[in-house]
Amino acid sequence: MRLFPFALLQALWLARVGASRTSLSRRPAAKSFVASAVSAPSSSDSVSLANVEDIRYAITTTVNGVPFNLLVDTGSADLWVIQPSDSRAASFTYDSTNSQPIVLIYGGGNITGVTASASVQIGDFSISNQAIGVIPPSGVHVGDILELGLDGLVGTAFGLNNNPFDESFLVAELGPVAGQPFLFNIFDSMPVENNFVGMSLSRTDDLEGSADASFTVNSLDPLHAAAVSSAAPQAVFPGIDVNGRWSVLVDAIYVGTTQVPLGDSVVQGTPPGKLVVMMDSGTPTSSIPTALWYALYANIPGSTVGEVDDVAHFTVPCESTTIMTVVIGGVDFPIHPLDLSNIVTGPDADLGVAEITRSASPLSAAELPLPAISMSSSETRSCGTFILFNYGDTPSSPGSDASIQFVSLTDAASAQADVTAVRMQAFANGTYPPELTTTLSGFQPAIPGVLPSFLSSGGSDGSAAGALSGSLASGSAEISGSSKYVTVIIGLLAANLLVVLALLVLGIMTYRRTASKAREAKYQPLQLPKKLALQGELDDSEGLVDGRYSD
């Protein structure tokens, strides 16, 4: 989305299993494409589904008969592909009639190429004359798209509104008819009411294993159809016509048994004590006010906080079973404890540690420059939830009937047991190097309600600071006398990194896989971000005027 300085691109690799899965929805003409997320094919019957660096997934899309791996993005509407330079190059063609140069500006860079049209197919859905962007490899100047071997992006957001937040670049260049996004062309081909997209990714007992993923258009995944039908729709707030985004109200957030004050929302009209949170699968990162970010981790028993090279860090006990819970529409959505930290191994000179195991946190802090959003969820840590995006009767011009339905698939008790069965077992059997057993030099206990000087010196916005003005009791003590810690690396206020908000069980279901059950786990080093301006201001490179994301 425009005006959105978030890290670029996070999505779900989805492929069709044979024909479409049998539909249990109200739409007799509905189709779907469903797949299983796996680290590696286990048999000849396995679907062609691949994990991209553990956190990014893409859907197989055919453009004029040539396959591309495109990221699914609920935060934008355009479809663009990188012109292949491999064996596909000779067979890739497109219609360049009336082609126009385009520049897709993102917060951390831009995409430059040309408009074109081609036949596009995803699963059972095919559009014969779809507007696309064709981008040469030299025109990709954002994120790590090329390095990850990804081929472009397909958006599923509203793209036809007459507002600066959500307008499709292709619509802006070609007009609302010729440039209409792929998803809306599908809707037009299926004259039904209440057009919707359903997305899910379930969790298995072994977090290194596989999970069933589904992506359906005007159809419900049979596994979750009954639960979705009884889930109350949550109205998009403050409204698609206001901010052009899939955003909803969050009632409360708990860490253990402690309710964390959310502070005052910056969004006009937000009920007291609630926050407006946007769901966006197009970024693997999220933004959360600094004080709220600190309160969440400070309420995990045994946590410590420090600063290394101008970057804030937390350490939390490795065997922490603390459950974070998000309340939406009066319904609790528990967050799996293992989704609050990511295991990373290896020495780190910046932290002054040798060959130990540490964890990269999927949550960091930054103040949003947007007036209509309090907080953003990248939906990366949305394992264990099914979500249904309801575009309403007239998706091209959505009104008050646009809504989101959530179904929690996570059992809190089972999730806590996974910590012992998965993470601690990995330490016991030698899969992980020894865990960090001492407090890092320069770190201090994280005390709820007491913001460290290196955080408070930069200043938070008023609403975030207010969230810490009261006394916050420590959460329930799930850990007793533990000396096992992993370094939770949290890049503060780095607008080009904004690491994923793990506590929000929302949006497109993505699932990080370090390896399959049959393979030895592999880990990726984490580059620590440098702290940007603490005043919440972003320089021109962050693209506040016409940008969508940063890399």
DSSP H or E run through 332:
strand 331-335
- What's the predicted TM-score (pTM) here? 0.69
pLDDT on residue 363? 57
Look at residue 204 and tell me whether its pLDDT is greater than 50.
Answer: no
**Residue 336 is assigned to a structural domain of this protein:** yes
Tell me if 46 sits within 8 A of 317, measured CB to CB: no
Tokens of 391: 């575009």
pLDDT of residue 134 exceeding 90, the answer is yes
Percent of the chain exceeding pLDDT 90 equals: 19
Over residues 315-339, the mean pLDDT reads: 88
**Most confident residue range from 110-114, 314-318, 377-381, 504-508:** 110-114
- pLDDT of 118 higher than 90: yes
What's the structural domain count of the chain?
1
Domain contains 294: yes
52 torsion bin: left (phi>0), alpha (psi -120 to 50), beta (else): beta
Residue 282 pLDDT > 70: no
Closest CA to 169 of 114, 217, 119: 114
Question: Is pLDDT above 60 for 169?
Answer: yes
Looking at the domain assignment, is residue 257 inside a domain? yes
285: number of Cβ within 10 Å: 30
Can you tell me the distance from the alpha carbon of 79 to that of 75, in angstroms, rounded to the nearest whole number? 12
> Helices (DSSP H) in 362-442: which residue ranges?
412-418, 425-428
What is the spatial distance between Cα 433 and Cα 340, in angstroms, rounded to a whole number?
A: 20
Residue 409 covered by a domain: yes
Q: pLDDT grade, residue 149 (50/70/90)?
A: confident
Looking at residue 242, its amino acid is V
In a domain, 54, yes or no: no
Q: What is the pairing mode between strands 485-489 and 357-360?
A: parallel
Residue 529 is assigned to a structural domain of this protein: no
- Residue 484 has what pLDDT? 34
Tell me the pLDDT band of 133, cut-offs 50, 70 and 90: very high
The label of the residue with tokens 């779809």 reads 130
Residue 397 has pLDDT above 50, yes or no: yes
Is residue 51 in some structural domain? no
Domain assignment present for 354: yes
Strand partners, 305: 314, 444
What CATH code is carried by the domain that includes residue 481?
Answer: 2.40.70.10
Residue 519 has pLDDT above 60, yes or no: no
* Residue among 296, 320, 312, 267 nearest 502 (CA): 296
d(C-alpha 443, C-alpha 434), whole Å: 20
How far apart CA 211 and CA 188 sit, in angstroms, is 32
Model confidence pLDDT, tens digit, residues 24-72? 222 323 333 333 222 222 332 222 223 344 345 578 899 999 999 988 7
pLDDT at 310 over 90: no
Give CA–CA dist 207/537, Å, rounded. 38
pLDDT of the residue at 516? 30
**Would you place residue 120 in the very low, low, confident or very high pLDDT band (cuts 50, 70, 90)?**
very high
User: What was the pLDDT predicted at 348?
Assistant: 63
Domain range for 250: 224-497
State the DSSP code for 457: T
pLDDT for res 342: 64
Return the closest-CA partner of residue 279 out of 364, 389, 202, 180: 389
CB 128 within 8 A of CB 75: no
Q: What is the mean pLDDT of the chain?
A: 65
Using 50, 70 and 90 to split pLDDT, how confident is the model at 167? Answer: low
Structure confidence by residue, pLDDT tens digits, 422-473: 888 888 888 877 777 777 778 889 999 998 988 875 443 333 323 332 322 2
Which range has the worst mean pLDDT, 89-98, 241-250, 284-293, 532-541? Answer: 532-541
pLDDT recorded at residue 146: 80
